[in-house]
Structure 1
């Protein structure tokens, strides 16, 4: 089962029948929200880099050289 499926269940208010799992689901949901936020930050950063570069190869070169890349929340 993919995380996105569990998360959909969680945001719809569903909880596991076993009360011992509730805290696990809440911890997992928090970690998954962090992952989603970081993916969005990554997507925006890559989009900004692509606007500055003529090719995707140019973006890859910048990251390979470990140039500082601004990522905004």
Structure 2
């Protein structure tokens, strides 16, 4: 992956993270810490989103 592609990927991931943060009113680093600690979302309907959100956040960390 060249530098330009890497930067574009980081920006795309940041947009996804912002969408989740706006939807749930929680910062990504806070959600990820809770997710890694095994905490369940307060609503069962959020489980799939939180799994995806955690994946996006982990990938964003690796790209950084």
For Structure 1 versus Structure 2, the TM-score category normalised by the shorter chain is: 0.5 to 0.7
TM-score by length of 2: 0.57
Greater helix fraction, Structure 1 or Structure 2 = 2
Taking the aligned partners of 1:34 and 1:7, their CA distance within structure 2 comes to 12
Give RMSD over aligned pairs: 0.8
Q: Which of these residues, 35, 38, 43, is aligned with residue 18 of structure 1?
A: 43
Please give the TM-score of this superposition, normalised by the length of structure 1: 0.51
Q: Which runs of 5+ in 1 are unaligned?
A: 40-73
- How many residues are paired up? 39
Unaligned runs of at least 5 residues, structure 2: 1-25
Runs of 4+ more than 6 Å apart: none
Instruction: Say which one has the larger Rg.
Output: 1
